[in-house]
Amino acid sequence: MTLFRVLCLFVFAICLTSAPAGKAVAQNVLDGRMHALAGTPENPLDVGIGIKIDQITSVDQKAENYGAVVVLRVEWTDPLLAFDAKELGREIRVFNPPALADHAAEVGAVVPAFVIHNQQSNKWIHESAASLRQDGSVVYVEKSSLTLQAPHFDFRKYPFDTQEFHFDVASIFPTEYVSYYPLEEFSGLGDLLGEEEWILDNARVEASKVIGISGRESDQVALIFEGNRHLTYYVIRVFLPMLVLITVGWALFFLDEYRRRIEIAGGNLLVFVAFNWAISADLPKLGYLTFLDFVLQCMFLMTGALIVFNVALRKLKVAGREEGARKLDNYAIKWIYPLGYAAIVGYAIFAYLLVP
C-alpha cells in the first residue's frame, strides 16, 4: 500500500513540477519569516513566478486600488534539498509551507522569499501547498485574496479611459542572488473574474528590476492588464439626461419670453451643479479636469452666459429696442445655443480623446 502511495506521490510531483527540473521554486514565508538565500553573484538562483488572477473582487477608483483572488506559483531547484528516494521510500514529498521552511533550515538550504510590491491590505491565504522532488526541485502554490494599489490610474479621458492594473511580485533578495523569470503558462486572467464595470484584457507578464525592501536592486515579475469601462452606464445616467435636458431647454427658447427662459436656464444651472457633484463622488479629488468635467464645466459656464445674455435682451426690450433684441435673439437661438454646446463637446473630444 505504501508503495502505491509513493508511486502516486511521484506522479503527482511530476504533474506539479511540470517546469524543467533545472529551475527552482521560491516559498512564500507564511507568517512573516524570512530565511537564508541560495544563490550567489556568479550563479544567481533562478526562480519562476506564475501569477494567475482568478477573481477581481472590486475596483475602487477613488482609493485607486483593486481587490483580487490570485493563485501564485513559484518554482525553483536547490540541490541542497535533494534527497535519496530509495532511502526515504518515495520520490516526492508534499509539505505544508512552514514545514518546508523548517526542513530547508535543517539541511542548511534556504527559500527565496518574495513580497507583493503593491499590496495594500493584509493577504488572506485560502490554501497553500509545496512539493519537493528528489532532485531538489520545488513547486509552491498559494491561493489568496488581497487588495492591491493601482497607482497608474489616469482619469483624464474619463469615462473613455483605459486603465492599467499591476500585480507586482518582488524578490526580497537582491538581483545578484535571486533572478526571477515569468511562468507564462501559469499566468494571466481567469475566465470568470466577476467584474461587471470593467472590460479587462491584454494581460501580460513582465520581468523588471526594482529597489527591494533590502534597499538594493531586486528582481520583480509583474502581471499587467488593462481595463476599459462599459459605457452603457455613462450613456444612460449622464449623457442621455444631459442631451434631453439641453434639447428641451433649446426648444423652450422658441417660446420667445425672456423671463421664462431665465427661469429654465436657472433650473438647468442647478441641474448642472447636481450632476457635477454626483459625478465627483465616483472619482478621487483630482488635480486635473477629466473629459466629463471639462464638458460639464463648459456647459455650466455657457448656461450662465445664456442667462446674462437673456437679461441683456430683456433690458433692451424694456428700453424699447425690442427689434434689436429679437434679431440678436434669433441669431443666438438658432446658432449659438446648439453650436456652442456642439463646439464644447467637439473640442473636448479633440483635446481629450484624440490628442494623445
Site for its own copies in 124-163 (CB under 8 A): 124-130, 141-143, 145, 149-151, 153
Of residues 48-107, which lie at the interface with its own copies (CB under 8 A)?
55, 57-58, 63-65, 67, 69, 71, 73, 79-80, 92-99
Bridge partner residues of 216 (DSSP): none
Phi-psi region of 247 (alpha: psi -120 to 50; beta: other; left: phi over 0): alpha
Q: Which residue, 317 or 336, has its beta carbon nearer to its own copies?
A: 317
**Minimal distance in Å, beta carbon 356 to its own copies?**
21
Cα–Cα distance for residue pair 339/354, rounded to 1 Å = 20
21: contact with its own copies by CB under 8 A: no
Coarse DSSP helix, strand, coil percentages of the chain, rounded to the nearest 5 percent: 40, 30, 30
Work out how close the CB of 219 gets to its own copies at its nearest, in angstroms, rounded to a whole number.
14
339 part of the interface to its own copies, by CB under 8 A? no
330 contributes a contact to its own copies by CB under 8 A:
no
The Cα 176–Cα 180 span in angstroms is 11
Strands 124-133 and 65-77, bridge-based pairing: unpaired
Closest CA to 277 of 250, 296, 304, 254: 296
- Min dist CB 309 to its own copies, Å, is 9
Query: Which segments within the chain are labelled E, that is strand?
Result: 45-60, 65-77, 92-95, 114-116, 124-133, 137-149, 162-174, 178-182, 188-189, 198-211, 217-229
Binding mask 238-257 for its own copies (x = CB under 8 A): --xx--xx-xx--xx-xxx-
Q: Does 177 bind its own copies (CB under 8 A)?
A: yes
Q: What's the gap between Cα 186 and its chain centre?
A: 20
Query: Which window, 188-196, 201-209, 324-332, 344-352, contacts its own copies (CB under 8 A)?
Result: 188-196
Q: 137-149 and 92-95 as β-strands: parallel, antiparallel, unpaired?
A: unpaired
Q: Is 36 in the site for its own copies (CB under 8 A)?
A: yes
**Do the bridges between strand 45-60 and strand 178-182 make them parallel or antiparallel, or are there none, so unpaired?**
parallel
Task: Tell which one of 169, 307, 325, 344 touches its own copies (CB under 8 A).
Answer: 307
CB of 78 or CB of 225, closer to its own copies: 78
Instruction: Pull the grid cell for residue 268.
Output: 438647468
Nearer to its own copies, 280 or 349 (CB): 280
Which CB atom, from 43 or from 330, has the smaller least distance to its own copies? 43
Q: Which stretch binds its own copies (CB under 8 A): 33-41, 201-209, 326-334, 339-347?
A: 33-41
Report how far apart, in Å, the C-alpha atoms of 75 and of each of 13, 139, 349 are: 12, 5, 48
Structure-block grid coordinates of residue 122:
493584509
DSSP 269: H
Q: Which of residues 269-288 bind its own copies (CB under 8 A)?
A: 269-271, 273, 276-278, 280, 284-288
Q: Answer yes or no whether residue 215 interacts with its own copies by CB under 8 A.
A: yes
Q: How many residues does the chain have?
A: 356
Q: Which residues between 190 and 209 bind its own copies (CB under 8 A)? A: 192-194, 196-197, 199
- DSSP secondary structure code for residue 197 in this structure: S
Sheet holding 198-211, edge to edge: 114-116, 162-174, 217-229, 198-211
Among 20, 21, 22, 230, binds its own copies (CB under 8 A): 230
Beta bridge partners of 55: 69
Q: Of the candidates 46, 91, 293, 329, which one interacts with its own copies according to CB under 8 A? A: 293
Taking the complex as a whole, the smallest distance from the CB of residue 343 to its own copies amounts, in Å, to 19
41 contacts its own copies (rule: CB under 8 A)? yes
Q: For residue 355, state whether it binds its own copies (rule: CB under 8 A).
A: no
Contact between 189 and its own copies (CB under 8 A)? no
Q: Give the residue with the Cβ less far from its own copies, 84 or 232.
A: 232
Q: How far is the CB of 117 from its own copies (least distance, A)?
A: 8
The binder of its own copies chosen from 51, 116, 295, 316 (CB under 8 A):
116
DSSP, res 199: E
